[in-house]
Amino acid sequence: MANANSPKLPAPREQGAPPRVRFCPSPTGNPHVGLVRTALFNWAFARHSGGTMVFRIEDTDAARDSEESYAQLLDAMRWLGLDWDEGPETGGPHAPYRQSQRMDLYRDVADRLLAGGYAYHCYCSPEELEVRREAARAAGRPSGYDGHCRELTAEQVAAYEAEGRPAIVRFRVPDETITFTDLVRGELTFTPENVPDYGIVRANGAPLYTLVNPVDDALMEITHVLRGEDLLSSTPRQIALYKALIELGLAKDIPAFGHLPYVMGEGNKKLSKRDPQASLNLYRERGFLPEGLLNYLSLLGWSFSADQDVFSVAELVEKFDIADVNANPARFDLKKAEAINADHIRRLDVKAFTEACEPWLRAPYANWEPERFDRAAWEAIAPYAQTRLTVLSDITANVDFLFRDAPVEDEASWAKAMKPGAAELLATAREKLGAADWAGPEPLKEAVLAAGEVHGLKLGKAQAPVRVAVTGRTVGLPLFESLEVLGREKTLARIDAALARLGN
């Protein structure tokens, strides 16, 4: 019997209406890059086609789901710029968009499936199931459910009930071959022995993913399901359920499915959410730009063109076609991700770059006292820093010499640069720099070059001790631009401190 929470027949869709896609993560743990890639492809598909992006939260697993993870999902989507047309906080005609708020609806659908003979109660215990699976494996047969409870008599059901056996609800998969055309992999066929009956409701009445996911897709009128390859085996089961929902009047059509390739990590293994490099938070913490990360993730299974790897999000949307997604696994390459992010950093105008770096110029990243931060010096050095960064967090170590009384001591850099003869070179460089015109970096370069000539050194060898004395490190921002921003007084004082340490 239908009630006030019963699902309603979806409204008829106009011929040629824009597609509707969905991104439906579970709020468990931190978002990972494979999940982001799925969200990105759905979002790009919707924006390219003028369709609708539905953001749905699959939070029916109370033991694993958390409000903290839910908040992180919403925050991650906003940070990435992947907006949604229907979903949490946005609302929409198919609200609510959290499955935990749709439980009455799932119970009603399960009741309808049972009443229509599309599902049945299964009383098999986990131990009994495992014994029969082992026997099937030993005999070389498929080890899926064997249909033991599919055609129970009323007497058998009564006997099981009298025993007090718990029962799950199992969907009755029709004994027929299921064929569909995958948007990424082409035509796929599954024979009946490989698509056994499956559970849709737990013994405690809680609905399973196998029920709630296709039911919500049907009622939310999703036209295209783009998801990971790991869910491919569940697709024929969901197609069978879709056919039942259509016959019950709860769905209009079966959506088109496209299964995105695996993302592989180290050792050519599937990138797991437990792998450190899989965490989205890692890339935010290191200072990846959203545009840079999305650019790279879009290349995991898709290609913009044969000769272009760096592009804007707008260009991605304009070019994206699910038909161009490659079915082969894609390998996550951190070095390439960093290189692409560096290109996006260089694409920023200087004002946007300085603003993007702000979080890394404050605690807990900054290793200087807040009152020592000199905004004028930061803005002067920013254009030189922008050309050198791979990720924004690199800025802290590159500019800390500007905001401290003395540079950070790096013993490895000191040992490398301060070899025999360094003291003599520094003393000459101090003399030349003291007499130089500080109106720009070029006179400072000429001063250090002249000091090197006195000691028979080329510029590269001559500037190394000066760099370490002034900045504390052997590598960093362009030296002479750095000296100009630091100023004559501080530069000479640091060279004096280095000479004192060298005993000169």
**Same domain for 246 and 142:** yes
Query: Going by DSSP bridges, is the β-strand pair 198-201/263-264 parallel, antiparallel, or unpaired?
Result: unpaired
**Same domain for 488 and 416:** yes
Neighbours of 424 (CB within 10 A): 16
Q: What is the band of 165 on the pLDDT scale with cuts at 50, 70, 90?
A: very high
Q: What is the band of 9 on the pLDDT scale with cuts at 50, 70, 90?
A: very low
Segment 44-52 shows an average pLDDT of 97
Q: Specify the range with the lowest mean pLDDT, choosing from 2-11, 194-203, 210-219.
A: 2-11
Q: Which of 252, 270, 273, 461 is catalytic?
A: 273
Of the chain, the percentage scoring pLDDT greater than 90 comes to: 90
Give the structural domain span for 212: 103-260
**Same domain for 255 and 120:** yes
H helices of 55-102, in order, are 67-80
**Same domain for 256 and 115:** yes
**Same domain for 437 and 372:** no
In a domain, 313, yes or no: yes
**Same domain for 114 and 235:** yes
Q: What is the structure's pLDDT at 151?
A: 95
Domain harbouring 453, CATH code? 1.10.10.350
**Same domain for 287 and 381:** yes
**pTM of the full predicted structure?**
0.91
130 to each of 121, 122, 125, 137, 201, how far by Cα in Å? 18, 14, 9, 10, 19
**Same domain for 390 and 311:** yes
Closest C-alpha to 171, from 101, 115, 113:
113
**Same domain for 240 and 108:** yes
H helices of 361-403, in order, are 375-386, 395-399
432 is catalytic: no
**Same domain for 294 and 230:** no
Which positions ≥6 away from 386 have C-beta within 8 Å?
345, 346, 348, 350, 353
In a domain, 376, yes or no: yes
Reply yes or no on whether the pLDDT at 110 is more than 50.
yes
Q: Which of 260, 285, 300 is the last residue of a domain?
A: 260
Model confidence pLDDT, tens digit, residues 276-325: 788 999 999 999 999 999 999 999 999 999 899 999 999 999 999 999 99
Closest C-alpha to 178, from 235, 249, 227, 258:
235
In a domain, 147, yes or no: yes
**Same domain for 186 and 128:** yes
Domain harbouring 322, CATH code? 1.10.1160.10
Q: How many domains does the chain have?
A: 3
Model confidence pLDDT, tens digit, residues 332-356: 999 999 999 999 999 999 999 999 9
**Same domain for 243 and 108:** yes
